[in-house]
Amino acid sequence: MAPSSSAKPLKGPQVFISFRGEDVRKHFISFLDPALRRANINVFIDENELLGADLANLFTRIEESEIALVIFSKNYADSDWCLDELAKMKERKDQGRLRVIPIFYNLSPSVVKELRQDFGDKFRDMQRRHKHQPERTKKWEEALVSVPDIKGMPLSEQSDRTDNEFINSLVVEIQRLLDYMAVKGTPTREENHRGGTYDDTSDLTPGAKYEAVFLVKLEDNAIGWEQPVTLKLKVEQHDGSDDNRVDRNESLKDYIGHNWVDILAGVFVAPPRNKPAKITFTMFQHVTDDKKKGLVVKGVAIRPTN
């Protein structure tokens, strides 16, 4: 029996990439984008940097992301678009809602942090062009000074490493970080019940659809999972009322011997920010006398869906 459509190949948390197109699009990004996708990493790359589109949608993408890559290059500070992205990413990082990885492409981290050389001159030119927006330029400068303090990955012009070699190591680092973020502790085995909660939806995008999933694997020797598991999702307002409840069943035996799969608990629409809710989702099997083994629950996640 083929696996049901509710369990999909792992999408993973979204990775947002901020970069200056004229510096890196035709070489570094053209290698990085397919490398991430081959690793099954869900990536968002802004293709409209120079088209003057509304930044609101871009900020939404940043809010929905778990990781952001900031590729600092020689002309990065010459783009108000890039600087607005960077300020938004710093805001999310400071809130504990985004992991930021700075990449210094043919630049020293100190040049960015201290706003030196041509990089600093271009930023000061940008400040002068936007002198009527002091709050905006202040956020830019704070982001440029603080983000390079994060442990990043420099690729200097004198490096013996090729772009492809550097990208391969970067993909490994991102995979390691995604695994760390997904696990949320030690995986557990042979339990009849697993659950997760999301205590406050105020950091989700109102009106957007999200899915709650369990990341599981059934090893080749798994037994005792002939009976389906029951999955429940509840959206509970803070006043105690239930907005929505979803119950469904799933047969896990169909996935014995597969790699990690997503088991869907349910889909919900994020409520308004002024009416935050708690999301509770569980997966359990009614108690039987069957001996069970081979189920590994790696983690749980809430993420945007189409």
The torsion region of residue 168 among left (phi > 0), alpha (psi -120 to 50) and beta comes to alpha
Let me know: does 300 contact 266? Beta carbons within 8 Å: no
For residue 155, what pLDDT is reported? Answer: 63
Other CB atoms closer than 10 Å to residue 283's CB: what's the count?
A: 24
For residue 73, what pLDDT is reported? Answer: 92
Low-confidence ranges of the chain (pLDDT < 50): 1-13, 49-52, 183-193
Same fold, 15-182 and 188-304: no
Let me know: does 213 contact 263? Beta carbons within 8 Å: yes
Looking at residue 127, its amino acid is Q
For residue 262, what pLDDT is reported? Answer: 86
Report domain extents, the chain: 15-182, 188-304
Decide if domain 188-304 falls under CATH 3.40.190.
no
- Report the Cα–Cα distance between both ends of the chain, in Å, rounded: 27
For residue 53, what pLDDT is reported? Answer: 53
> CA nearest 298: which of 4, 2, 6, 12?
12
91 in active site: no
**Which residue is catalytic, options 49, 63, 66, 85?**
85
Burial per residue of 104-139, b for 16 or more beta-carbon CB atoms within 10 angstroms, e otherwise: bbbbbbebbbebeeebbebbeebbeeeeeeeeebeb
Let me know: does 3 contact 255? Beta carbons within 8 Å: yes
For residue 159, what pLDDT is reported? Answer: 60
Let me know: does 105 contact 153? Beta carbons within 8 Å: no
What does the DSSP assignment read for 161-222? S-HHHHHHHHHHHHHHHHHHHHHSS--EES-SEEEEEE--GGGSPTT-EEEEEEEEEEEEEE
For residue 247, what pLDDT is reported? Answer: 80
> CA nearest 230: which of 189, 178, 281?
281
Q: Which of the four CATH numbers 3.40.109.10, 3.40.50.620, 3.40.50.10140, 3.40.50.2300 does domain 15-182 have?
A: 3.40.50.10140
E strand map for 251-292: 261-269, 277-284
pTM tops 0.75: no
